[in-house]
A and B are shown apart, each in its own frame.
Chain A
Amino acid sequence: MKQNLFVRWAAICSILLLIPFFMASCAKTIIPSIPQTHEPPRQVPEIGEPPPGKTIEKPVQPQPEKPSIPAPQKEPRPAILNTLIRKAEKELLLRKPDIAFQTLERALAIDGRDPEVWHLMAKARLMNEQYRQAESLARKSNTLAGDDRSLKKKNWKIIIRSLEEQGRVEEADQARRSVDSV
């Protein structure tokens, strides 16, 4: 045991001496801390994609023909989507959650991945006192909200309120912590 301790100390001392050398040698290879990013790092391909500039793939079957349809293009948000969202907001202000929900379902048919639409749906269900639905819809909105912190906060508020109304106090406390992290 003592011998082991001695070896450790000896190693530590020698390392301390060697540190400057190491610093010099490692200058070019920066070791990242655990590379935690919420979005995928751009400088490297994602798993399943070939590395840039490398043709390491061995074709096992004939290359498929080129598809006839063009690649998708990013389209601007249709004006009608904004109109429907505004309409739903007004309906919510007038405390007509069912009508607002119908309007929002029409909006979903135009863009099913709009986090604002899901958020308003959650709001409508909260007004309906359908707390479980409100919670799920707000969570769904959060999964689509990306970097929209303000929307996420609003969703968390709905989640907290829904949990409280359902008597799930501990989960509500946990959710409060999540809001803080947002």
Chain B
Amino acid sequence: MKKKIFILGLVVCAGLFFLYFNKFDRQVQEQFQGRLWELPALVYARPLEVYPSMHLVPELFEKELILMGYQRRKGSTELDTPGTYARMGSSFDLFLRVFDFGDETLPLRRTRVRIKENRVIQVKDIKTGREREMDRFDPVVVGRFYPASMEDRVLVNLDQTPPLLGKSIVAVEDRNFYTHYGIDPKAIFRAILVNIKDLRLSQGASTLTQQLAKNFFLTPEKTLIRKINETFMAAALELHFSKDEILEAYMNEVYLGQDGKRSIHGFGLAADFYFGKSTANLAPHEMALLVGMLKAPSSYNPRTNPDRARQRRNLVLELMADQGLISSSQLKQGLAASLGVIQKPVKGLSPFPFYLDLVKRQLLKEYPENDLRTMGLRIFTALDPQIQLAAEQAVSDFLENRNSSLEAGLVFSATATNEIYALVGGRDFRYRGFNRALDARRPIGSLVKPAVYLTALAQPDSYTMVSRVSDGPVKIKNHDGTFWQPQNFDKKSHGQVGLFQALIHSYNTATVTLGLDLGLDNVSNTLEKLGAKPETPGLPSILLGSMDMSPIQVAQMYHTLASGGFYTPARAIRTIYTLEGEALQRYALTIEQRMDPGAVFLVNKMLQGVVSRGTGKSLNKWLPRDYSIAGKTGTTNDLKDSWFAGFSGSHLAVVWIGRDDNHSTGLTGSSGALQVFGRLMSKISNTPLDLAVPENIEWGIIDSITGYRTSGDCPNAVSVPFIKGSVPEKFQPCESDFQPTQPSDQPLPESSSKAEPPIKQKTKYLMDWFKEIFK
């Protein structure tokens, strides 16, 4: 009977044992079938493409290399590992890393880049000596979107890592790894003896498999139950997976340090975090240091405890030599070597948090946040680190020694594609806070005016650049019975002025008069086509920019002008790749013609006038006139907001300077934002704005005083672009009476009718009289 009970008990125990094991077995299988780790999304800047004749400032180039995590060496011969460079004056030798760009993967290679007077004059493959048309560098990491655990890792395959690394891990952590089945009884027995002797659980006997099981599935507390569970799990792992698979998983799983909130997991990331290398390029002493850290990553952190880390590394090196993994000369070399740890490449979570914020917002419109944080996506953006750094420098240089309450927002984009190359959201560039470039919605003041003039010029039968408009006092009755009486900035009226003069000098009253003639709905319609979203119903005050917009919205609006009337949505992201390298989504360029290129051309000509002769004239302090920048200043009431929006042939930038408390900045658009714009544009490469003349444009020779057509040899003759068919018919020959008495961009003499093109003026001259007769 007792025997039966014993057997029954044994069977029940075996059943329970089996059930218990089965539970873990299933858990292990399920977990390993899915994704093993939650991997953060990686956000990249645009890869730098270097080719002969490109503009490249050596200092900015080097700054980008540092952001890319490249280490400087003294000479070309010392480029021993990928991710290193040597600089000789304006010549750079680089040992470039392997990188998968999505559309191609470039291998390890050594490249020489020679720069002369800020231009690349040669890109050469150092090994073959062959000149290259272009080289493409692995991009700066702008940031990561982490899982809730804040775990970060770079996955490595066992075949990508040097065998010595795996062997060293085994030698140090679990010598019998290849012979046991997940549990090492000898090690357990040894640990029990030590623990009994010490009367506490000080000695562990975990195999690599057990450690992996613990990290994957269990809590870190040292309890007996957890230990039993760990054993079951380890056995289940060994049952289903090969030793190499377990070792690979271990190498990717282990914790190897902390970077603020972010925890460093796996040898792939640790190699990069501590040495700026991939695991494939680790030297034996570097492997020894990382393997040594497994025991206690914070105690043996080479950055905070270098001496302790060195001792531990040397111990591991000796163990490696004892096991025959390295030769005695390697041991000698390794013991003598410095720790070789790099400085933390980037402080904080992202070098450019404001830009990262923009990327995240765009992503969250389309992807669930959890997917972003766990799927290991690779996100390629348009961020240009060199321009970003130049933009930050421009903002900080301007704000230096000024009121500390002044804040800034800046958006920089490409005129061709409307890709956002740089973004500044405030004066503290590394702070993840209120992003003024995206969220500071403020009145735009005179930045709205080009939309008013564009509305006019899109009606060539009624308006041309030389049409007259009254800049006299304006008084408009509000709904509540009060009056709105806008004034010019100089508090003066300028009589009848040409549209060109009214815009370049930013006359308020002329603009309001013109806008009211055009109709608020028409102006709003233009604003909408440009990409702004004016509030409805519109009030006359929108004609002077009493509409709130953020810098990025203004950039969108001005981009449509800069691209000749073609609307392109602003983009920060280029492509998203899955962990497996498939393109998940591409954000390709799209364009839509929204405005007549002819009318936009005329407005852009006027905006060039703003910079060459009008309110934006002080830009000439920063850039030669030959760049023909087009732009517009904006200043709001009591100098609360200082704006400038402008573009060259290649780039557009919008700058806002203001205060979060909405008090006066004491700055106009010209004395504030424009100065930041100028600083920035003078530091980077730009193409002059050579406006392409659309098909429907013709030129008339116009007397700048009378506004009539005249002959080319007339002293006041200026060439003026018109939409075909709108050149004034009236011709006036040169008259000695008509000597220039005022600048050619000054108001024209009063005409009989408000905003009436010269075409309708009365005849005054003999030739006109004859023409009348022959009618």
Contact = CB atoms under 8 A, between A and B. Distances in A.
Of all A-B residue pairs in the complex, the 10 with the closest CB atoms, nearest first, are A112-B416, A48-B609, A64-B621, A36-B698, A71-B626, A71-B624, A80-B51, A80-B134, A80-B133, A44-B717
B233 interface: no
A158 to B, nearest CB: 14
A146 B694 CA distance: 8
B593 to A, nearest CB: 5
A112 to B, nearest CB: 2
Interface in B691-738: 692-695, 697-702, 704, 709, 711-713, 715-721, 724, 727, 729, 731, 733-734
A48 B504 contact: yes
A31 B733 contact: yes
A43 B721 CA distance: 15
B743 A45 contact: no
B727 A105 contact: no
B765 to A, nearest CB: 12
Interface string A64-88: 1101111110011011100100000
B53 A51 contact: no
B588 A41 contact: no
A68 B719 CA distance: 31
A136 B592 contact: yes
A143 B733 contact: no
Contacts of B717: 44, 51
A78 B52 contact: yes
Interface string A30-47: 111011111111011111
A47 B605 contact: yes
Interface in B613-627: 613, 617-618, 620-624, 626-627
Contact of B743 (A34, A56, A111): A56
Contacts of A137: 591
12 contacts: A36-B700, A44-B701, A47-B745, A51-B716, A51-B717, A51-B718, A67-B682, A69-B624, A71-B627, A78-B51, A102-B586, A113-B687
B688 interface: yes
Contacts of B465: 47
A94 interface: no
A105 B588 contact: yes
A138 to B, nearest CB: 10
A54 B743 CA distance: 10
A32 B732 CA distance: 11
B330 interface: no
B608 interface: yes
A41 B624 contact: no
A44 to B, nearest CB: 4
B711 A64 contact: no
B590 interface: yes
Contacts of B414: 108-109, 112
Nearest to B628: A72
* B54, B626, B718, B743: residue with the most chain A Cβ atoms closer than 10 Å: B718
What class of interface size applies to chain B in its complex with A? 35 or more
Interface of B: 46, 49, 51-54, 103, 133-134, 414-417, 465-466, 500, 504, 563-564, 566, 574, 586, 588-593, 597, 605-606, 608-609, 612-613, 617-618, 620-624, 626-627, 649-650, 682, 686-688, 692-695, 697-702, 704, 709, 711-713, 715-721, 724, 727, 729, 731, 733-734, 740, 742-745, 767, 770, 773
Nearest to A45: B718
A61 interface: yes
Interface string A83-110: 1000000000000001101100110111
Given A46-B718, A108-B589, A113 B731 contact: no
A169 interface: no
Contacts of A12: 773
Contact of B701 (A32, A57, A132): A32
Nearest to B702: A47
A121 interface: yes
Given A46-B718, A69-B682, A72-B687, 9 more contacts: A35-B709, A37-B698, A47-B702, A47-B704, A49-B744, A70-B624, A112-B417, A113-B687, A121-B589
Nearest to A84: B134
Given A72-B626, A140-B564, A143-B564, A40 B721 contact: yes
A58 B416 contact: no
B417 A64 contact: no
Contacts of B697: 38
Contacts of B700: 34-36
B690 to A, nearest CB: 8
Contacts of B721: 40, 47
Nearest to A65: B621
A54 B564 CA distance: 33
Contacts of B49: 80, 106, 109-110
B498 to A, nearest CB: 9
Given A64-B617, A79-B133, A144-B692, A46 B719 contact: yes
Given A83-B133, A133-B591, A108 B712 contact: no
B688 A48 contact: no
Given A44-B717, A112-B416, A39 B709 contact: no
Contacts of A44: 701, 712, 717-719
A168 interface: no
B53 A75 contact: yes
Contacts of B627: 71-72
Contacts of A78: 51-54
Contacts of B686: 72
A132 B594 CA distance: 12
A164 B403 CA distance: 60
A120 to B, nearest CB: 13
Given A78-B51, A143-B597, A54 B612 contact: no
Contacts of A143: 564, 597, 692, 694-695
B773 A11 contact: yes
A40 B608 CA distance: 15
Contacts of A30: 711
A177 interface: no
Contacts of B564: 140, 143
Contact of A136 (B593, B613, B719): B593
B592 A37 contact: no
Nearest to A152: B695
Nearest to B592: A136
A161 interface: no
A36 B699 contact: yes
Contacts of A11: 773
A140 B541 CA distance: 34
